[in-house]
Amino acid sequence: MGGTTALSYSLADRADLLAMARLLTHFLDDEGFRSWTPTALQDALTDPDRNICIVRSGSTLVGLAVMAYGAEDAELELLAVAPLWQRRGLGKALLAWLEAPAEVLGLRATRVRLPRKKSQYFTALGFRAHVPPQTGGKAMPDAPTPFARPLSRRSP
């Protein structure tokens, strides 16, 4: 890829459904992505308590993220960046884009549920595991584990 292509971030709309579904085909082998069918994406688009942020390089959709906003916390439900666009900061930027409204709403934290074996990316961003006490502080590597990080002004 020669030159630089401007990236644009925006909220998704119905016209983006096909492009979002196509992007998610890169992740069909990952069980965590299988529930994100076109119908699930459409439901997220119409849910007033969720935002879907997309990032485009020119006219090509290269990443998307879904955030649900609760009474106290925000939950990142999906973060997907096209394989050729990974390791360029797009995931971090998508997350920041979706956390901005959560901070304005005064929410306490961003949460995400994922297997511990896939948690390295999120722990590098400041997320910490919150294992329920009834498990004795241990979580199975493949079981979804809740991770969270506070929202209140993480950086100056």
The domain spans of the chain are 7-112
CA gap 13, 44 in Å, rounded: 10
Residue 136: per-residue pLDDT: 56
Residue 33: per-residue pLDDT: 87
pLDDT at 26 over 70: yes
- Across 23-37, 88-102, 125-139, least confident range: 125-139
- Give the count of alpha carbons within 13 A of 94, CB side only: 29
pLDDT at 62 over 60: yes
pLDDT at 39 over 60: yes
What global pTM score does this model have?
0.86
Residue 152: per-residue pLDDT: 73
Helix (H) or strand (E) run with residue 21 in it: helix 17-24
- CATH code for the structural domain at 7-112: 3.40.630.30
Q: Which residues of 58-90 are buried (b: 16+ CB within 10 A; e: fewer)?
A: eeebbbbbbbbbeeebbbbbbbbbbeebeeeeb
Q: In which band, very low, low, confident or very high, does the pLDDT at 153 lie, cut at 50, 70 and 90? A: low
Task: Supply the mean pLDDT for the chain.
Answer: 88
